[in-house]
Amino acid sequence: MNSYILKGMLYIVIGAVLWGFSGMCSQFVQQERNMPAEWVVAMRLTLAGAITVLAAFWQGRASIFKVFTHTKDTIRLIIFGVLGMWLCQYTYFKAIAYAGAGIATVLQYVGPALIILYISITRLTLPRGAEVVSVVLATVGTAIIALQGEWNLAALDDTLLFWGLTSAVAVGIYTVQPVPLLKKYGTAPIVGFGMLIGGVFAWIVTQPSAEGIVWDLWAHGGFWSIIIFGTVVSFNAYLEGVRRVGAVTGSILSSIEPISAAVLAWLVLGNQFSQWDMIGMTLIIVTIFLLAWDKRRAAES
């Protein structure tokens, strides 16, 4: 496997690990410091987008605005910002609020299966065997970690299914839809402007309020960790990885997120590892080696 593909896979893993870290911070600031989910989503997209655009401008200057000189690409960017960046986060938070992080995470990770189905239909090709097996292993592993052996799915009513499955569709959109833009204009400008567009849309649609938030050193630490590590670095790393290795591999590898969340909860919050965590982690880690083997075999052939 060449270093270009290997780095792409590493970028995706880094992004997923930081999403797990962001999830832990998000839970803390919402539960312990009363930050509303809508406000967190709007702020993280707006600030992270501004930071990413400024960084891209520092590197590329006026070239970062090229995407806006083509009407079709501008429309694609707006779709990415609204239906990818904003919709994914908003619907995931709504699913968590409705039924908790466990079931919400499981429903969101229907996304890789939807991506494989979409690509197979649009390209009129069958998915690779390793991809299908990896999706199954990653989905089962995620479900085991999230549900901790509690297989009672009575909470799956229509409202939860709507938010959870919409979140899965949004995962597919922000993984597949921007790939041509990423290849044409680079990762940072597209991610940055996509976040800004999603952030502006969030402020207009949800009109969140910061009333009642308890601000102290821990609140600031958690909030800015979400912005910098959980949004700026994570999304740029993940989408740069997708640009290199493709949407299917990227979406499957992103399932390492629940592993990072479990490990960080153990290190920081003192949570204990259960047998379910170990089983789920093993299944997810197997997918990484399986995909790496499949990429190497494809390259050799």
Q: What is the pLDDT of residues 118-166, one digit of tens each?
A: 888 887 777 777 778 877 887 787 777 766 766 665 556 677 778 888 8
Residue 273 parent element (H or E): none
Instruction: Measure the CA–CA gap between 72 and 180, rounded to whole angstroms.
Output: 12
Torsion of CA 192, 220, 14, 19, to 10 degrees: -80
Average pLDDT over residues 277-292: 78
Query: Under a CB-based contact definition with an 8 Å cutoff, are residues 98 and 82 in contact?
Result: no
Q: Does residue 35 come out as left (phi exceeding 0), alpha (psi in the -120 to 50 range) or beta?
A: beta
Consecutive H or E run containing 11? helix 3-33
Q: Which of 156, 151, 27, 35 lies closest to 99, judged by CA?
A: 156
> Can you give the pTM of this predicted structure?
0.80
In this prediction, residue 211 has a pLDDT band, given cuts at 50, 70 and 90, of confident
| Predicted pLDDT of residue 45 | 94
Residue 222 structural domain: 3-300
Q: What is the pLDDT of residues 38-89, one digit of tens each?
A: 899 999 999 999 999 999 898 877 888 999 999 999 999 999 999 999 998 8
- The residue among 57 and 274 whose pLDDT is bigger is 57
Residue range 256-283: mean pLDDT, rounded = 74
**Both structure tokens of 197:** 């567009």
What is the pLDDT confidence band of residue 213, given thresholds at 50, 70 and 90? very high
What's the domain count of the chain? 1
Contact between residue 48 and residue 195 where contact means Cβ atoms under 8 Å apart: yes
Which percentage of the chain shows pLDDT scores above 90?
A: 27
